[in-house]
Amino acid sequence: MDKPDRKKGNARRSPKPPPHWRDDIESVLISPESLARRVQSLARQIEKDFIGRDLVIVALLNGTVVFLADLLRGLSLPLRLDFIGVSSYGISTGSDELVFTKELRLDVRGRDVLLVDDILDTGKTLARVTANLRQLGPRRIKICVLLDKPSRRVEKIEPDYVGFTIPNHFVVGYGLDYAERYRNLPFVGVLRPEIYEQPDSTSEKKASAPGR
């Protein structure tokens, strides 16, 4: 993998979230303004690195949708877009089994691939997805993540483009969810522990647990 771009944003916890979210969200970690500035900066760097290349952007569903939309609007170079669906299932807040729910449709053989995800923590998901992509014969693969949580890493995988490096908080918003909630928050916020520590045996919540 190519050497990562080290010009990363550093997330700083902001004031409390809007009143109607305070029962669930402990604090705002990254503001909408900081997100917008950093995503535009990432787009400029990616455009510079991939100019003149046969680029395919491969995004992981579903958490990337908001980040991806803003990132794409900042790119003016020709590209193709496709998606891979993955779900993590486990008995706790860790990932025990990774299931592919959507396979890649485009042919990436001989092309440059930019793999986009919302968050990288343990690295289990991206390690598995990257290994699968390599079998398809791309020219090279680079990884772009909105959030990097290096304190949780268990796999030897590093992103090439990082929006923000964050501490070990359970974060939601700007596409990231818990039990399919909070994706529409315009900021990245820290979820209160009492929300995700509630006993629940449904597969919906298991699939949304951290551990990626």
151, 168 contact by CB (below 8 A): yes
Within 10 A of 41 (CB to CB), how many other CB atoms are there? 16
pLDDT at 108 (0 to 100): 97
Which structural domain, as residue segments, surrounds residue 90?
32-166
- Strands 55-61 and 161-165, bridge-based pairing: unpaired
Say whether 8 sits in a helix, a strand or coil: coil
pLDDT at 3 (0 to 100): 45
Instruction: Specify the pTM.
Output: 0.86
Half-sphere exposure of 85 (CA within 13 A, CB side): 6
List of residues 6+ apart from 51 with CB closer than 8 A = 77
Q: Can you list the residues of the chain whose pLDDT is less than 70?
A: 1-15, 89-96, 199-211
Q: Does some domain include residue 148? A: yes
Q: Does some domain include residue 185? A: no
pLDDT at 87 (0 to 100): 82
pLDDT at 14 (0 to 100): 59
Active site (catalytic) residues: 121
Q: Does some domain include residue 54? A: yes
CATH number at residue 49: 3.40.50.2020
pLDDT at 89 (0 to 100): 59
Q: Residue 53: exposed, middle, or buried by beta-carbon count in 10 A (0-12, 13-18, 19+)?
A: middle
Q: Does some domain include residue 176? A: no
Q: In total, how many domains does the chain have?
A: 1
Q: Does some domain include residue 50? A: yes
Q: Does some domain include residue 102? A: yes
**d(Cα 146, Cα 138) in Å, to the nearest integer?**
23
pLDDT at 10 (0 to 100): 67
Q: Does some domain include residue 145? A: yes
pLDDT at 96 (0 to 100): 59
